[in-house]
Amino acid sequence: GDSVTQTEGLVTLTEGLPVMLNCTYQTIYSNPFLFWYVHYLNESPRLLLKSSTDNKRTEHQGFHATLHKSSSSFHLQKSSAQLSDSALYYCALSGTLAQGLTFGLGTRVSVFP
């Protein structure tokens, strides 16, 4: 079945530094949808980025990611982390949205002043 791997469980960094969260996936689908969701405490997880287009950069709220089908990756990056970026970040995959999403284990990001 589908699977998503996020290698970092916890990332701690100082405000203003760049951050990169790794995401790789396995799927039988040749045109999967890849997503990054952000989950703040006491809120619903919400979509940060999504893509199904190979080698196209997608950006939102200062974050960006590029789907690379050749390496089955969809890493999330931001050039300058802010305190408000502290949250849990999930990478997710869908072969067909009807069947829902397969999530990675999540990466907790803690940004300090």
- Nearer Cβ to other proteins (15/103): 103
Identified binder of other proteins from the candidate list 47, 55, 57, 82, rule CB under 8 A: 47
Question: Shortest CA distance to 106 belongs to which of 1, 16, 6?
Answer: 6
Using rule CB under 8 A, residue 56 touches other proteins: no
Q: CA–CA separation, 19 vs 80, rounded Å? A: 7
List the interface residues with other proteins, window 68-107 (CB under 8 A). Answer: 90, 94, 97-106
Cα dihedral value 106, 111, 112, 113, nearest 10: -170
Where on the chain is the footprint of other proteins (CB under 8 A)? 35, 43-47, 50, 90, 94, 97-106
